[in-house]
Amino acid sequence: MKIQNKNKGASGFSIVELIIAMTIMLIILGLVSTLFSKSLATRQRESSRTDALTSAQAALNVISRELANSGYGLAGNGLVLGGDSDAQKLHFLSNIRNDNEVITDPGENITYYFDPATQSILRHDANAAAASQTSTIINRISSLSFAYFDYEGNNPPTGPNLTPTVNTSRVRVTVSVSLEQVLGQVNPQSVVLVSDVTLRNSDYMLRQY
């Protein structure tokens, strides 16, 4: 009597086939991991860029608003000459209350400058209380610079200059922010924002209206 083997002819995976299948799965997992990692790096880069743009724009808005009124209620453009204003520092006067020529109220004698130690833009108010005369406007800034353009008569403007004069009617404010290092992205990257601010009380601008 012969006993037939019921498993005869049954097929299964060989070791070679299993190894090939596992290799293919590992390759697919590797590709998915790479794409996921790149996606996270791109998201981190864009988030860093957004934060940098927000910081730089906030700094420009604050400086531009006060600088535009430089000299308001005064005889000149309000920029303090003689070394107080240059490419790294901006010192200006503005008679906000417009009641006299004496600059004594807070917010009328202002200096903006960059502090590399803290990567911050500082605002110094010479007329404020001693405890709060210097304040941080914004941090995470890489650099702050100023350039000056002079207007006189019908001549074209001269500049950009490193220091202002009595004929300066426009100031260019440049704020730059270096983005954080992001793995898998092109580094370093930076964001640079520029604002040209017209001094409303400059002699040249007053004669245009």
pLDDT above 80 for 2: no
Whole-model pTM over 0.85: no
Q: How many residues does the chain have?
A: 209
Structural domain boundaries in the chain: 36-206
Give pLDDT tens digits for 64-85: 999 988 888 888 889 999 889 9
Quick one: pLDDT at residue 4? 55
Quick one: pLDDT at residue 197? 93
Give ∠ CA 49-53-57 in degrees, rounded to 5: 175
Query: What distances in angstroms separate CA 68 from CA 103, 167, 170, 190, 196, one per listed residue?
Result: 17, 15, 9, 27, 10
pLDDT band at 48 (very low <50, low <70, confident <90, very high): low
Overall average pLDDT of the 148-154 stretch = 88
Quick one: pLDDT at residue 167? 92
Work out whether strand 120-125 and strand 134-138 pair parallel, antiparallel, or are unpaired.
antiparallel
